[in-house]
Structure 1
Amino acid sequence: MFRLITCFLYISGFLIYSFPQLARIKKLSHLPVNQLDKIAHEYPKRFSKTFLKLTGSDVRVEGLEYIPEGPVVFIANHESDFDIPVLLMTIDKPFGFVSKIEVKKVPILSSWLDAINCILIDRKNREQALNSMQEGVKLLKEGHSLVIFPEGKRSMGGPVLPFKVGGIRLAQDARVPIVPIAIKGTADVFEKNRRLIKPAHIKVTICHHIDPNVHCHKDYKELTEDIRRIIIANRDARNIAS
């Protein structure tokens, strides 16, 4: 219970005291994309590192060398609410992410979602969802990167769920590399603990990227299954500390 209260207070403090940083980012909108994205991610990255320390968790990452230069679409499995801070902590390349539109209702957090170029999708409104995906293509072509969780919901540490094809089509339409990422252990922090926070061993495995010259000539449904198999193989590899 102590860790849960500590983490909650830290999140609240982060949101409250992040106003000056948000104001600074808005004033720097004239900067080149790469430079602005890096500045916008400094504060969330620091938050994520401290936040994961408060949980007492050990986070390891492998394969950072497989991330290419320029905009990419990261495709990751989705175990837990902790996946985003774990990725913010471990990946140096700035990114936005695709999420459900309901998070827009959270004060201050919604401003940060805008600052790091997130795409929010209303799953109940097909037209809005299509417009959001087109906005995602536009962001990628402008030089931003995106993280997509194609399962559509958390697996809670269970088997990786079937992938939706939207993220793959996004990368194909924008003609950017796809970087599969396998996440293991984030559900052990919270979801498996009856809403309490406990230390866990977390591993992030970044797989070889898929060049657009390769994936753009593949059927998107077949490619989606190929990427899912890559992620499952790396997620379930027996190389995580116990």
Structure 2
Amino acid sequence: MLFTIFIYLYAATLVIGSLVPLQKAKRQFKLPNNHLYNEEIFHIPSKVSQKVIKRTGTTVHVNGKEKLLDEPVLYVANHQGLFDILAFLGHLGKPVGFVAKKEINKLPIIRKWMELLYCVFIDRNDRRQSMKAINQGIENLKAGHSLVIFPEGTRSRGSILNEFKSGSLRLATKANVPIIPVSIDGTYKMLEEGNGRIQASEIKMTINDPIYPDDYKDLKSGELASLIQRTIEKSLGLEQEESMKVEMIEIS
């Protein structure tokens, strides 16, 4: 437990230390045609995320970076744990915002950085507010700012995926941007597996082939969600595990 407290204190110190660059970033954010977004505004959240993950003793391996695009995209990922967001911020290598639950918007300093990253906050208990947030996310994508969505809606707290909700994919289909499925494995071991105790892990992120608008234009929303979920399950090795289980049952 002392290690967990230390990590939280360390993270809080880094966040408080970002106040000065936050003020500079806010000024840059207000400028027209701001070209410092990629370099300066995203730099601090990325470095803070890297430092926190490293301090836990966790290593991060990213495969498929060559599949990243130099254009706005919707990253669709499974959601194992709280550290998924830090893994994306620190190790994807591209500026991203998030579709996040409204509770995160209550965190001082952090919420301001998230606003600068063009994050949107959803209240799942308020349908009207949720639609407004999704529409804002669509506009952010059209304006050139990539977003990350976790379509399971909540943390799986393990390697098995919950069903992907198709409604969140309207972000891509309405903005007409590519979708990049990303699998994350190992983050749940950092916090959720230990019932709130932080521990070291090994995170593996796999960036899969982009799905372009021409590829998904004829798919129904449910079909698209299933396609992305199968892609992520395959990169996690879950399809192979399920196939082996079926074979074992047939043999027995």
TM band (smaller chain)? over 0.9
**Matching residue of 2:248:** none
Deviation of residue 50 (structure 1)? 0.9
**Matching residue of 1:124:** 125
1:1-242 alignment, distance < 5 Å: 1-29=1-29, 30=31, 32=33, 35-236=36-237
State the identity as a percent: 36
User: Partner of 1:191: helix, strand, or coil?
Assistant: coil
Q: Which moved more, 1:30-39 or 1:167-176?
A: 30-39
CA distance in 2, matches of 1:13, 1:90: 21
CA distance in 2, matches of 1:137, 1:34: 21
CA distance in 1, matches of 2:205, 2:148: 14
CA distance in 2, matches of 1:31, 1:90: 28
* Cα offsets for 1:25-74 (capped at 9, x unmatched): 11112253553143211001111111111110111010011111110000
Deviation of residue 207 (structure 1)? 0.2
After superposition, the CA RMSD in angstroms is 1.5
User: Partner of 1:107: helix, strand, or coil?
Assistant: coil
Q: Which of 1 and 2 has greater Rg?
A: 2
CA distance in 2, matches of 1:143, 1:11: 30
Gaps of 5+ in 1: none
- How high is the TM-score relative to the length of structure 2? 0.90
CA distance in 2, matches of 1:124, 1:98: 15
Could you tell me whether the CA contact under 8 Å between 1:34 and 1:143 is conserved in 2?
no
- How high is the TM-score relative to the length of structure 1? 0.94
* Cα offsets for 1:89-132 (capped at 9, x unmatched): 21111010001111111111111111111010111111111111
Cα 1:175–1:110 change in 2 (3 A) is: same
**Matching residue of 2:247:** none
User: Partner of 2:98: helix, strand, or coil?
Assistant: strand
* Cα offsets for 1:209-240 (capped at 9, x unmatched): 011121123211101101000001111269xx
Could you tell me whether the CA contact under 8 Å between 1:3 and 1:54 is conserved in 2?
no
Alignment: residue pair count: 238
Could you tell me whether the CA contact under 8 Å between 2:46 and 2:90 is conserved in 1?
yes
Could you tell me whether the CA contact under 8 Å between 2:97 and 2:148 is conserved in 1?
yes
User: Partner of 1:5: helix, strand, or coil?
Assistant: helix
Could you tell me whether the CA contact under 8 Å between 1:48 and 1:86 is conserved in 2?
yes
CA distance in 2, matches of 1:227, 1:173: 17
Deviation of residue 182 (structure 1)? 0.4
Could you tell me whether the CA contact under 8 Å between 1:22 and 1:115 is conserved in 2?
no
Could you tell me whether the CA contact under 8 Å between 1:163 and 1:228 is conserved in 2?
yes
Q: Which runs of 4+ in 1 moved over 2 A?
A: 31-35
